Amino acid sequence: MSIDEKIVEGKYVFLKDGNQYSEETFTILMDTAPNGNYMYKSEILCRVTSGEFLKINVDFETSNSFDPLNVKVFRSLGENSSTERYEVNLKDKQVYYTFSGMDGVHKFDRNVSGKFHISTPAFVTSTLMTKMKKMNAAHVTSYNVLSTQNIWTYEKQFVENDVFLELKSLGGVEIKLNDKDLHATHCQMSEDAYNNPEKSAPADFYLSKYLNIPYKAEFPGNLEVKIDKLKAFENEYKNMFKS
């Protein structure tokens, strides 16, 4: 019987103009069986204008090569709740999607060719696709990302969009975070390979050596997400955490 071992845990804070408005705690588990899967578990809390707390739980299971297998997003706010599920058959590339919300249950499936990532509200999974497909040092790397607009009610099926990552420094950069000097991989994420000004401005991501999860990211509009606490079980899994 395989055992899920905790390999990374931590907490992100979300800031607007330097003021915190949300937080995310996360754990990354590894199946100890040969060629075992990974599980990213995240909980996001945010107080809304009504004073209530929006709570989002994300479970993101991947193969040992970081292809998405099963993704669940559960949202709750007061009396409202919804659940999104993606189930992926890697053999035939069929993606089965289910949304359960205030307007009932909606299901559909679609074939998605090639490598793809699934977008979730969890920041810890935001750069997961760079483990599935490495960034190219010579040019911008494109990633196919599945996403939906379904939150409390079903709006429409998931869509496929390209996201582009550009490696900004081959040797990495030094950053200071929580009074600690850290070595990070700096890249920019955008919706356009040529940074077209008509589209949204790129965001700067600083990735850790811990499965490429971000140390921090800076977005247009003076928005920032950064690690507040991070514990990696590096001694036990030192071969996984190479810079």
Q: Is 132 exposed, middle or buried (0-12, 13-18, 19+ CB in 10 A)?
A: middle
Contact 210, 236 (CB under 8 A): no
- pLDDT of 216 reads 97
Quote the CA–CA distance of 205 and 227 in Å, as a whole number: 12
Residue 238 pLDDT class (50, 70, 90 cuts): low
Type and span of the H or E element at 111: strand 104-111
- Residue entry with tokens 């003021």: 19
Question: Residue 159's closest CA among 176, 146, 177?
Answer: 146
Q: Residue 10 in 3-state DSSP? A: strand
User: What's the token pair of residue 70?
Assistant: 């099963």
**49-63, 102-116, 186-200: range with lowest mean pLDDT:** 186-200
Please give the single-letter amino acid code of residue 10: G
Quote the CA–CA distance of 243 and 233 in Å, as a whole number: 15
Type and span of the H or E element at 232: strand 223-232
Contact 107, 98 (CB under 8 A): yes
Residues in a beta bridge with 162: 144
CATH number, domain 4-232: 2.50.20
Quote the CA–CA distance of 123 and 23 in Å, as a whole number: 10
Beta strand pairing call for 19-31 and 4-16: antiparallel
Per-residue pLDDT reduced to its tens digit, 124-136? 999 999 999 999 9
Top-confidence residue, 225 or 240: 225
Q: Return the domain boundaries, the chain.
A: 4-232
Type and span of the H or E element at 131: helix 129-132
**What is the average pLDDT across 229-235?**
83
Per-residue pLDDT reduced to its tens digit, 175-226? 999 889 999 999 999 987 665 656 678 999 999 999 999 999 999 999 999 9
**73-77, 153-157, 231-235: range with lowest mean pLDDT:** 231-235
Q: Is the model's pLDDT at 102 over the cut of 70?
A: yes
Note if the pTM is more than 0.85: yes
**What is the average pLDDT across 39-60?**
94
* Other Cβ atoms closer than 10 A to 69: 18
CA-based torsion, 115, 121, 127, 132: positive or negative: negative
**What is the average pLDDT across 131-157?**
94
